[in-house]
Amino acid sequence: MSKLVVVGSLNMDLVVRSPHLPRPGETILGRDFMTAPGGKGANQTVAAAKLGATVHMVGRVGGDNFGQALRANLRAANADDACVSTENSAATGIAIIEVEDSGQNTIVVAPGANAHVARADVDAARSIIVSSQALIAQLEIPLDTVWYALLVAREAEVLTILNPAPAQPLSTELLSLVDLLVPNESEAALLTGIEVHDDVSAEQAARQLHDRGARSVVITLGARGALALSDDKVWRIPPFRVKAIDATAAGDAFVGALATAYATQRDLDTALREASAAGALAATRLGAQPSLPTRAELDEFLKHASH
């Protein structure tokens, strides 16, 4: 069983469906409003926990009802919330998510307590980090905290996984602490200046990120699957055919499944197949964490799914 630690964000997602995404200045009528636990850190924590990993979450929530609900949701998924602290000077983070009928979405995040996650939180969880098989981080908490968490893990020879979302420029110093970098097309484009629109440009971006320090790079390509670079080998991961209705947590399902499989097996091919399947399954359901598959659901899907 994988033992993972996730240093990242916890948000309450406020989700509304609509026939299309509004243009600037346009007001449209939506449908099907729901609230659902989210935040990339919490999503990836729950994604891994639902697949059977032992997962510890490091982060902050506000002292409000949303914060209490997010803690309870982590525990309900069998994830450990002992290293999630309460930030009384800020509200729990929220994300306002609009999903159109095709499954595409727009997201606006108000970080709240996530903006207060600090080196002290990493230090408080140090014993858990150094005894884990992998550490997962994203970019919805302060960048200095992300760098410090990766450094603590690297010094303990713990596998480091970074999902660089939301996209922002990253230094070579930070990238050199990353064993497995998992951006999507737009994130890879911002990090490299290369517009990722096909396999050739995806490979160019992956090689640049590798040359800047990331040991292995996996660029997710949405409905076109993913492209991986490791040990100077480049290969495509074909997508699974599904009817997508909401892409909100597909990337988080991918990262959680990838970390769960790779931390124990160190077989990137197998891990990527499971990750691709988990992302596809998540895209067939509405919401962030409610869409994340269990181990039984993933195994059943892999038995019958086709690329």
Q: Is 108 exposed, middle or buried (0-12, 13-18, 19+ CB in 10 A)?
A: exposed
Annotated active-site residue 252? The verdict is yes
Q: What is the pLDDT of residue 102?
A: 81
CA distance 236 to 102: 25
Give the model confidence (pLDDT) of 60-118 as tens digits: 999 999 999 999 999 999 999 999 999 999 999 998 989 888 878 888 889 999 999 99
For residue 247, pLDDT beyond 80: no
- Higher pLDDT, residue 224 or 217: 217
Domain spanning 3-22+32-294: CATH superfamily: Ribokinase (3.40.1190.20)
The residue ranges of every structural domain in the chain are 3-22+32-294
pLDDT tops 70 at residue 158:
yes
Residue 260 and residue 159: Cα distance in Å, rounded? 11
Least confident of 106-115, 157-166, 254-263, 288-297: 288-297
> pLDDT at residue 59 above 80?
yes
Report, as an integer, the average pLDDT of 174-187: 97
Distance of CA 302 to the CA centre of its chain: 21
One of 123, 198, 252, 299 is an active-site residue; which one? 252
Instruction: Give me the half-sphere count of Cα atoms (radius 13 Å) on the Cβ side of residue 241.
Output: 4
How high is the pLDDT of residue 307?
A: 56
Q: Is pLDDT above 90 for 265?
A: no
| pLDDT of 256 over the 90 cut | yes
Query: Looking at the predicted structure, is the pLDDT value of residue 45 above 90?
Result: yes
Mean pLDDT of the residues in the chain: 93
With contact defined as beta carbons under 8 Å apart, do 191 and 170 qualify? Answer: yes
